A = this chain, B = another copy of it.
């Protein structure tokens, strides 16, 4: 806790010295992403639709489902605080029926996992978090085209094959609030930092202390 607070203070200070001042609550998202990556380029790469942070916080307050593409994202999310809000974190990439269906459908497992979550009704009103697989982000966008309505899509896949392009497609659509990164950079820690920033803002410091004591 102490280390995290000191780190965030350093990030905040360096951002200010570099001339970057973000309004709250967006500042918290940017600071946590840089804290997790030590990469100040994210101050310029991170983008969001205007309503995204509030939409995500409102959904979390209602105990929405959180669906991730990969387990590295799932295990990084503060599941205890999400549970305290009535929510749950899901990842279906290794579910046996998902693995079998992916093979049958010629999809990646990550994409099939998102399709599976949509079929379970978990995407409507939920938060979709893609930290790794552009194919999973493409599937989430296909679900939106079909009428599925997540409260927020956090789409920050990293890489060299369709990562930048799939994120451009996310940022170009105007149906669902989104948080993303321009270009190739992104990844599991970026996705986790964004979700946990929203969770911390919803749970709030007082509630956090009570959680610590009850831990």
- Mark A residues whose CB is within 8 Å of B: 3, 6-7, 10-11, 35-39, 71-72, 74-76, 108, 135, 158-163, 183-189, 192
Contacts and interface: CB of A to CB of B under 8 A. Distances in A.
Given A7-B161, A71-B76, A72-B72, 9 more contacts: A7-B159, A7-B160, A35-B159, A35-B160, A38-B183, A39-B39, A74-B75, A75-B75, A188-B188
A21 to B, nearest CB: 19
Contacts of A183: 38
Contacts of A158: 36-38, 189
A38 to B, nearest CB: 4
A159 B39 CA distance: 9
A40 to B, nearest CB: 10
A6, A36, A38 — which one has the most chain B CB atoms within 10 A of its CB?
A38
7 contacts: A3-B135, A35-B160, A37-B185, A38-B183, A72-B75, A72-B188, A76-B188
Count copies of this chain in the complex: 2
A189 B72 contact: yes
A188 B72 CA distance: 9
Given A189-B188, A192-B72, A161 B38 contact: no
Nearest to A157: B38
B188 A38 contact: no
B72 A186 contact: no
A180 to B, nearest CB: 14
Contact of A189 (B3, B108, B184, B187): B187
Given A37-B187, A39-B185, A184-B38, A160 B6 contact: yes
Nearest to A215: B99
